[in-house]
Amino acid sequence: MRPIPTLKISISGVRGVIGESLTPTLLTRFAQAFGTYMGARTIVVGRDPRTSGEMVKQAVTAGLLSSGCRIVDIGMCPVPTVQLLVRHHRAHGGIAITASHNPAEWNALKFIGRDGFFLNTGQARELLDIYHQGDYTRVGGAEMREVVELSGAIDLHIQTIIDGLGWLPAKEKKLRVVLDACNGAGSLAGPKLLEALGAEVFTINVIPDGSFPRPAEPLSENLGDLCDAVKEHHADVGFAQDMDADRLAVVSEDGVAIGEEYTLLLATLSVLGKTAGPVVANLSTTSALREVVSRFGCSLFQSKIGEVNVTEEMQKQNAVIGGEGNGGVIYPRLNFARDSLVGMALILHLLARTGQTITELVNSLPRFAMIKEKMKCPSDKISRILRMVRDEYATYPMDLRDGVKVSLPTGWFLVRGSNTEPIIRVIAEAEHEAEARGIIDRVYSRVQECLGQP
Amino acid sequence: MKPLKIGITGVRGIVGETFTPEVSVGFAQAFATYLDSGRILICRDTRSSGPMVRSAVVAGLLAAGCEVIDLGICPTPSLQLAVTRLKADGGIAVTAGHNPSPWNALKFVRGDGLYLDPQQAEELLDIYHQGEFAKATWNKIQPAIQYKEPIEYHIESLKRAFDVETIKRRHLKVAVDCCNGACSLLIPRWLAELGCEVLAINDDPNGVFPHRPEPTPATMAQLSALVKAGHADIGFAHDADGERLGIVSELGEPLSEELTLAVATRIRLDQTPGTIVTNVCTTAVIDQLAARYGSSVVRTPVGQTYISGAMFEHGAVLGGEGSGGVAVPQVHSTHDSAAAVGLILEGLARSDEQLSEIAGQLPSLFMLKHNLTVEPNRLYSVLQDFRIAIEGEQLACDLTDGIKVQLSEGWIHVRASNTESMIRVIVEAETESNARDLLDWARDRLNK
């Protein structure tokens, strides 16, 4: 089999491996295409701490300047900070340089529109057309605009959260928090925010030097060090961020990673406890969310997977909170973006308000077992696999908006191709671990058979 | 056809048209590949497209795994000195030198601080065209380092090469026009070190060129007025990146750019007789001066790399070109207007002469320069036709660079510009009417 390409140009942006596919020429051309698409305006640029970040930023800077854009360079910062700054500065767009949870050798450009949302499918297609046509706006030296280096973007982000949610109520005993920022962009923002809120903060992995002390995805199996640190410091809670600080995972006071699915549940408890309203999540989010939302007499709407799909549905439904089961919390009142900083603030306020521990809060929530699997998959096999699943489970209710989601009597499962990597994902959820495992084993083995066929 | 010149002097074009970020990135990657991803310095002049081109170059160098040291804005000769001081493998100067502000260019410097020689430049071009560049993996990419002292180090090198105390004692009053280029950061400081009273104009490195950044009498009116109004002893005009120098005498008279090297030659040979290196189309004043001192002149093709090479080969005491570039080997064997300033002021200080006296004693010849704009794809066929015409008349051609013909009234030189798509015709004779006759003679044969 030929090797699967490491370059992924898709509606999620452009993503590739440094030293292989993600070359400076490709990057500078994409930046020119974006500058052309946005009409030579003000563009906010931020990056995560990957070692290739500076190279990528210089290539992007050259492309944006060449197409007549003015650049607001906010330096190293979380992706949600870029989104917030686009809105705050009334900029016309933004580029976030980050491959979020991908390993260290990857990097990527994520394109942000003037509303601070990632480009939606239609917009992304338009951008790709401009990129491929190659006829970019080019300005001469006299019309070339400047790069404004802006410090304080992270402070503004933190202030926005404090202004919106307030400090934690003053208590004799401060909440004790351990933060694991994965040496990512959150290293620069998380500790500051937690201290500003009034928590007692302990940190691990907060040196943003581009090294990856653990895999960047805040999955439970990657959080062993954080769990130990929570126990060691007798902390009330542990927080883990990914490389670009949009996703958040929580560790309980017992040093147990509760699973990234529970991040959105806790944040939803925090918000709905004060403000009732519609909630939006993507269709692979745990069924527990529906039960939580209905406890408050509110309604849950499901969207396709991908941050921009969730945010667009949230706008449509006028949602008070939304997000994704991978630890992405979107609280539009503060920042219409997946924002781990907002997530931490919401959960700390929930702890302070209820006086309950993380374990108590989690135990009060309905429990489902969710299992996620992924495997490498060449693109030409994806549609065959999806067709197989559709045929095989034709008698069950199905949601075909994003891959194939099948509702079974004991739970549900979802099979879909990734937008960002050459892999296929299988997710299953049921009330009990054994049932979920049964579902996933059946589906997984069928998918593997399908992959094995010529 | 829009101009993009890719040649042995580097790559040059108009930003917004042909000189794109992709071209800049590609050449940076090619250069990095050529130097095996070593330590590479980068600087730029002040033009407004500089930050864009700089970013593209830095991206290309970093992607290839280079250790990048960014000198910011500084003259190209400052970068050339820093390359040897910092033991770098090479350098890239982002500057279009004397070209107008819409242009920009990359100039490639090798590890000894000199420009790539023609063979090296051709190899670089081959790498660029082949398009297979060194690619560093994520853990081999390092952030660029800022180096803030290229100008201090340049001034140190200059101070070692000249008799600063003698110059200080003369208390010269010097007018300078830095054309708002990179020299704004160097020349006023250098003159202050020499104890001069400095009258500076256009010394704001903002990249807005008040006139063409080419020091010729046509661009020196403002400087000449300043010399007169300020009663200066001499006026100096600079290009955007500190290679070319123009001179205004204490009477406010701008000298032809051809005479910058002539004045420097006169001063240099007065102190140290020896070989002078210049290109084939620089004024014959140099030969007549050298003859006075019993010295010889070596003629090379046009371009600094040839001048530098011949200076080493012949142990020259001075090199330079009729464009106003002067290379003083005590500093380095490459065009450096700050070194030329040091040499000329040292000459004035030692002899107590006025600049107008030195100029007045130079042999008197009349030169005409004429540019013929030609479509880039026809440049060489026009030259070919010219050569065939000359040879048809049984005249001898010097083909060192372009075509040089010696007639009884004087000489004619015809060549393609290295930097713009035109043919440059230069003639020189004892009188203006003879020179005009020569030019007409050449144009007749070029238009056929």
B-chain residues near A210 (CB < 8 A): 138
Chain A: closest CA distance from residue B66 (Å): 11
Confidence of residue A203 (pLDDT cuts 50, 70, 90): very high
Long-range contacts of A423-428 (CB under 8 A, 24+ apart): A423/A374, A423/A375, A423/A376, A423/A377, A424/A374, A424/A375, A424/A377, A424/A381, A424/A382, A424/A385, A425/A372, A425/A373, A425/A374, A426/A372, A426/A373, A426/A374, A427/A284, A427/A370, A427/A371, A427/A372, A427/A373, A428/A370, A428/A371
Same domain, B372 and B301: no
- Tens of pLDDT, residue by residue over A259-315, are 999 999 999 999 999 999 999 999 999 999 999 999 999 999 999 988 999 999 999
Give the model's pLDDT for residue B253: 97
Give the model's pLDDT for residue B448: 53
- Tens of pLDDT, residue by residue over A112-155, are 999 999 999 899 999 999 999 999 999 998 999 999 999 999 99
- Tell me the average pLDDT across A339-351: 98
Same domain, B115 and B196: no
Q: b/e for B215-232, b at 16 or more Cβ within 10 A? A: bbbebbebbbebbbebeb
Give the model's pLDDT for residue A334: 96
A-chain residues near B27 (CB < 8 A): none
- The reply to whether residue B49 touches residue A51, judged by beta carbons under 8 angstroms, is no
Q: Is residue B157 part of a domain?
A: no
Chain B: closest CA distance from residue A16 (Å): 11
Q: Using an 8 Å CB-CB cutoff, list residues of chain B that contact chain A.
A: 14-17, 20-22, 24-26, 28-29, 47-49, 51-53, 55-56, 58-60, 62-63, 101-102, 104, 135-144, 207
**In terms of CA atoms, which chain B residue is nearest residue A23?**
B63
Q: Of the candidates B303, B333, B360, which is a domain's last residue?
A: B360
- Asked if the model's pLDDT at residue A450 lies above 90, the reply is no
| CB-nearest partner of B48 from A28, A59, A141 | A141
- Tell me the average pLDDT across A229-233: 97
ipTM: 0.86
- The reply to whether residue B102 touches residue A32, judged by beta carbons under 8 angstroms, is no
Same domain, B135 and B176: no
Catalytic residue list contains A211: no
DSSP annotation string for A335-369: EEEE-HHHHHHHHHHHHHHH---HHHHHHTS---E
Give the model's pLDDT for residue A419: 67
Q: Is residue B158 part of a domain?
A: no
CATH code assigned at B88: 3.40.120.10
Q: What is the CB neighbour count within 10 angstroms for residue A289?
A: 23
- Tell me the average pLDDT across A360-381: 89
Q: Is residue B156 part of a domain?
A: no
Same domain, B310 and B271: yes
Q: Of the candidates B322, B345, B360, which is a domain's last residue?
A: B360
Q: Is residue B253 part of a domain?
A: yes
Same domain, B315 and B414: no
Please, how many CA atoms are within 13 Å of residue A436, restricted to the half-sphere of its CB? 18
Same domain, B319 and B182: yes
Q: Where are the domains of chain A?
A: 8-151, 155-166+174-363, 369-452
Any bridge partners for residue B5, and if so which? B12
Chain B: closest CA distance from residue A110 (Å): 18
Q: Is residue B263 part of a domain?
A: yes
Q: Determine contact, residues B138/B65, Cβ cutoff 8 Å.
A: no
Same domain, B376 and B333: no
- The reply to whether residue B52 touches residue A54, judged by beta carbons under 8 angstroms, is no
Same domain, B18 and B33: yes
Q: Which two tokens stand for residue B437?
A: 């006759």
CA distance B373 to A235: 78
Count of domains for chain B: 3
Domain A369-452 has CATH 3.30.310.50: yes
Q: b/e for B389-414, b at 16 or more Cβ within 10 A? A: bbeeeeeeeeebbbbbbeeebbbbbb
| CB-nearest partner of B60 from A24, A50, A144 | A24
- Tens of pLDDT, residue by residue over A414-447, are 999 876 677 889 999 999 999 999 999 999 888 8
| CB-nearest partner of B137 from A18, A61, A140 | A18
Domain A155-166+174-363 classification at class level:
alpha beta
- The reply to whether residue A138 touches residue B17, judged by beta carbons under 8 angstroms, is yes
Q: Of the candidates B126, B151, B176, which is a domain's last residue?
A: B151
Instruction: Tell me which DSSP letter residue A141 carries.
Output: G
- Asked if the model's pLDDT at residue A58 lies above 80, the reply is yes
| CB-nearest partner of B62 from A50, A58, A139 | A58
CATH fold of A8-151: Alpha-D-Glucose-1,6-Bisphosphate; Chain A, domain 3 (3.40.120)
- Which segments within A1-135 are labelled E, that is strand? 8-10, 13-17, 42-47, 70-76, 93-97, 106-112
Give the model's pLDDT for residue B242: 97
Q: In this structure, is the dihedral angle defined by the CA atoms of residues B279, B281, B287 and B290, taken in order, positive or negative?
A: negative
Query: What integer best gives the mean pLDDT of chain A?
Result: 94
- Start-to-end CA distance of chain B, whole Å, equals 22
Same domain, B226 and B347: yes
Give the model's pLDDT for residue B2: 63
- Asked if the model's pLDDT at residue A4 lies above 80, the reply is no
Give the model's pLDDT for residue B148: 87
Give the model's pLDDT for residue B419: 66
Q: Do domains A8-151 and A155-166+174-363 have the same CATH topology?
A: yes
- Asked if the model's pLDDT at residue A454 lies above 70, the reply is no
Same domain, B338 and B385: no
Q: Is residue B21 part of a domain?
A: yes
Q: Which two tokens stand for residue B365?
A: 């010849």
- Tell me the average pLDDT across A249-266: 96
Catalytic residue of the set A52, A100, A187, A340: A100
Q: Determine contact, residues A392/A415, Cβ cutoff 8 Å.
A: no
CATH code assigned at B386: 3.30.310.50
Q: What is the CB neighbour count within 10 angstroms for residue A240?
A: 34
- The reply to whether residue B63 touches residue A18, judged by beta carbons under 8 angstroms, is yes
CA distance A337 to A323: 9
> Which candidate in A21, A36, A45, A66 is best for mutational testing of the B interface (most B CBs within 10 A)?
A66
Phi then psi for residue A114, to 5 deg, are -70, -20
- Asked if the model's pLDDT at residue A1 lies above 60, the reply is no
- The reply to whether residue A55 touches residue B22, judged by beta carbons under 8 angstroms, is no
Same domain, B332 and B215: yes
CA distance B18 to B299: 34
Same domain, B420 and B282: no
Residues of chain B with pLDDT under 70: 1-3, 418-419, 448
Q: Domain span at residue B389?
A: 366-446
Give the model's pLDDT for residue A5: 75
